[in-house]
Chains A and B, each alone.
Chain A
Amino acid sequence: DAKTTQPPSMDCAEGRAANLPCNHSTISGNEYVYWYRQIHSQGPQYIIHGLKNNETNEMASLIITEDRKSSTLILPHATLRDTAVYYCIVRVGPSGSRLTFGEGTQLTVNP
């Protein structure tokens, strides 16, 4: 699976959009980008995934660059409950089952 690079920490004001970047320059054509988050040592929670098109669901939007070497997770209106570690994961899928977690980005949403 391709390696990902994320900033170790970010801050965001409550109510503003949080934009979390991820670099995956070695991604191959059949690899998907997944985002999970982990709130205060709970089990990780799935957020969203995509292959090459931008994706949106009730939690977030995922923007993938045209060359697929990087992506951005957008939380449109961050709340204090969005404070968590966010993991960007690239994996062979959707038939690939294994997830490889890096160290993620600690997002802190401030009041």
Chain B
Amino acid sequence: NAGVTQTPKFQVLKTGQSMTLQCAQDMNHEYMSWYRQDPGMGLRLIHYSVGAGITDQGEVPNGYNVSRSTTEDFPLRLLSAAPSQTSVYFCATSGFLGGAYNEQFFGPGTRLTVL
């Protein structure tokens, strides 16, 4: 049981390049989300999904796309990387049981630098 896994751990991009950050979970959780954390700041929600085929925007969605074709995977796509997207990206999941969302489990993060 790996929990929440994220790949890659580190990535350096040039401005304008695109890439996909991967997030996978083996806990059969319905809810998945992506956050970014800039130095010295709290986490900010980018996009989230309450189930396969359903996604919605969070606080800072611009420049990012998501899709949720399976329960297990929730990839985050950077369309055209900008230096302002240099950050640490965390994926999180939560189960929905008995009419309530449980605690969120976070992955180890992907550290992205855009030059």
23 contacts across the A-B interface (CB closer than 8 A):
A41-B88, A42-B108, A42-B109, A43-B90, A43-B92, A44-B106, A45-B106, A46-B105, A49-B103, A87-B42, A94-B102, A95-B99, A95-B100, A96-B101, A97-B31, A97-B48, A97-B50, A97-B101, A98-B48, A99-B92, A100-B45, A103-B41, A103-B42
Within A41-56, the residues touching B (CB, 8 Å) are 41-46, 49
When distances are taken between beta carbons in the complex, the residues of chain A under 8 Å from B4 are: 43
Cα of A75 to Cα of B110 in the assembled complex, Å = 30
Is residue A15 within 8 Å, beta carbon to beta carbon, of the partner chain?
no
Is residue A76 within 8 Å, beta carbon to beta carbon, of the partner chain?
no
Report yes or no: A101 in contact with B88, Cβ–Cβ below 8 A: no
Report yes or no: A102 in contact with B109, Cβ–Cβ below 8 A: no
When distances are taken between beta carbons in the complex, the residues of chain A under 8 Å from B90 are: 43-44
Cα of A42 to Cα of B3 in the assembled complex, Å = 14
When distances are taken between beta carbons in the complex, the residues of chain A under 8 Å from B44 are: 101
Within B41-65, the residues touching A (CB, 8 Å) are 41-45, 48, 50, 58-59
Cα of A41 to Cα of B107 in the assembled complex, Å = 11
| Chain B interface size, under 10 / 10 to 19 / 20 to 34 / 35 or more | 20 to 34
Report yes or no: A98 in contact with B58, Cβ–Cβ below 8 A: yes
A-B contact count (CB 8 A): 58
Q: Closest approach, in angstroms, between the C-beta of A83 and any C-beta of chain B?
A: 16
Residue of A nearest to B58 (CB): A98
Known A-B contacts A43-B92, A45-B106; A102 and B101 likewise in contact (beta carbons under 8 Å): no
Is residue A7 within 8 Å, beta carbon to beta carbon, of the partner chain?
no
- Taking a contact as CB atoms closer than 8 A, the residue among B42, B50, B102, B107 that contacts A43 in the complex is B107
Cα of A43 to Cα of B99 in the assembled complex, Å = 26
When distances are taken between beta carbons in the complex, the residues of chain B under 8 Å from A96 are: 101
Within A18-77, the residues touching B (CB, 8 Å) are 36, 41-46, 49
